[in-house]
Copies of this chain bind each other. A is one copy, B any other.
Amino acid sequence: MGEAVGVIGLGVMGAPMARNLLRAGHEVTVHSRSQGPVQRLVEEGAAAAATPGELAGRADVIVAMLPGEQVTAALLDGDEGLWAGARAGSILVDMGTASPGWARSLAELGAERGVAVLDAPVSGGDAGAQQGTLSIMAGGEAADVQRARPVLEALGTVTHVGEHGAGQTVKLCNQLVVGGTIALVSEALVLAAQAGVDPAQVIEVLSGGLAANRVMELRGRNFLEHDFEPGGKASFQHRDLGMALDAGRELGVPLPVTAVVDQLYVALVAAGGGELDHSALITVLERLAGRG
């Protein structure tokens, strides 16, 4: 028999993650505000918990996959909240993207209640969640990462990157490189198009040298065909760049390139593109060049 795992948050990431935990033989309890995903997972063998507290009461490892700090915070307190039900000695693994400061606060709140906390954000998107190939960046105590491994390895590859908050720091580093790369590829493609050069050839030639990157490899077609079905939503990318800049402010690390990339995402979200894939940033550069 596997471990008693609770999964809270059954969105585009959380639902397939819960499914992979079931497949790996764990005893899975789920909770979500929308009942559709709960019903489907119950049909596949999960138990449903009516409240976060009930879920926590049944789990040795609680996996939270929620869209932001505020949503997570709202589920913690009160009679039906997660802390009310959580067992001493259990582990809460917060897998949504959040600030490193939030990760440290959550770890302190957990410690007061005898609950170990890990920050363990992921990269790999919905495809990685479905295939169980997420890259999981874990921050917290080494012993707790070790205890959570049998559960997390059903979801992807786990790297312990440091203390509480370190997982979120690495995730923000990931996001600033991804968002920035999207912006650079966009600038190159718009410059080429305006000069009369076929952008498809630019991607082909650049992919053969030092300019090669995974964004061009996996999203090249999306840039060229303006297919912006997400993938990674622009609004999340924008939120994550904001957190990277906040972390930089806090630590005294100027991030001048990321600051400009963030401004371009402000423009994309302002133009109504928040629900598009983050590669839709190219439309902002096209509009700036009068090609929109």
Distance between Cα atoms of A255 and B264 in the complex (Å): 11
Contacts of A20 in B (CB 8 A): none
Q: What is the oligomeric copy number?
A: 2
A178 touches which of B174, B211, B254 (Cβ 8 Å): B211
Let me know if A80 is at the binding interface, CB within 8 A. Answer: no
- Does A188 sit at the interface, judged by CB under 8 A? yes
Query: Is A36 among interface residues, defined by CB-CB distance under 8 A?
Result: no
- Least CB distance from A201 to B in Å reads 5
Q: Tell me the A140-166 residues at the B interface (CB within 8 Å).
A: 157, 159, 161-163, 165-166
CB-CB contacts below 8 Å: A183-197 with B: 183-185, 187-192, 194-197
Q: A34 to B183: give the CA distance in the assembly, Å.
A: 42
Q: A211-B177, A251-B191 are in contact. Are A166 and B197 (CB under 8 A)?
A: yes
* A12 adjacent to chain B (CB < 8 Å): no
A257 contacts B by Cβ under 8 Å: yes
* Shortest distance from the beta carbon of A177 to any chain B beta carbon, whole Å: 4
Say which size band chain A's interface belongs to: 35 or more
Tell me if A192 and B169 are in contact (CB < 8 A): yes
With a CB–CB cut-off of 8 A, which chain B residues contact A211? 123, 173-174, 177-178, 181, 214
Which of chain B's residues have a CB closer than 8 A to the CB of A197?
A: 161-162, 166, 169-170
Chain B proximity mask over A238-250: 1 for CB below 8 Å, otherwise 0: 0000001001100
Contacts of A292 in B (CB 8 A): none
Near B by CB (< 8 A), chain A positions 208-262 give 208-215, 218, 232, 244, 247-248, 251-261
CB A94 to nearest CB in B, in angstroms, measures 17
Report whether B159 and A248 are in contact in the complex, using a CB–CB cutoff of 8 Å: no
Tell me, yes or no, whether A288 is within 8 Å of chain B by CB.
yes
With contacts A187-B258, A257-B184, A264-B256 known, is A178 near B137, CB below 8 A?
A: no
Selected from B181, B206, B215, B290, the residue in CB contact (under 8 A) with A173 is B206
For residue A81, which residues in chain B have a CB less than 8 angstroms away from its CB?
A: none
Across the interface, which residues of B come within 8 angstroms of A163, CB to CB? 196
9 chain-A/chain-B pairs, Cβ below 8 angstroms: A123-B208, A123-B209, A162-B201, A170-B197, A181-B211, A187-B256, A191-B248, A209-B214, A256-B263
Chain A to chain B: the 10 pairs with minimum beta-carbon distance, closest first: A213-B213, A173-B188, A123-B209, A180-B184, A177-B211, A212-B214, A253-B289, A169-B195, A194-B251, A254-B288
Q: Which residues of A contact B (CB under 8 A)?
A: 100, 123-125, 135, 137, 157, 159, 161-163, 165-166, 169-170, 172-174, 176-178, 180-181, 183-185, 187-192, 194-198, 201-202, 204-206, 208-215, 218, 232, 244, 247-248, 251-261, 263-264, 285, 288-290
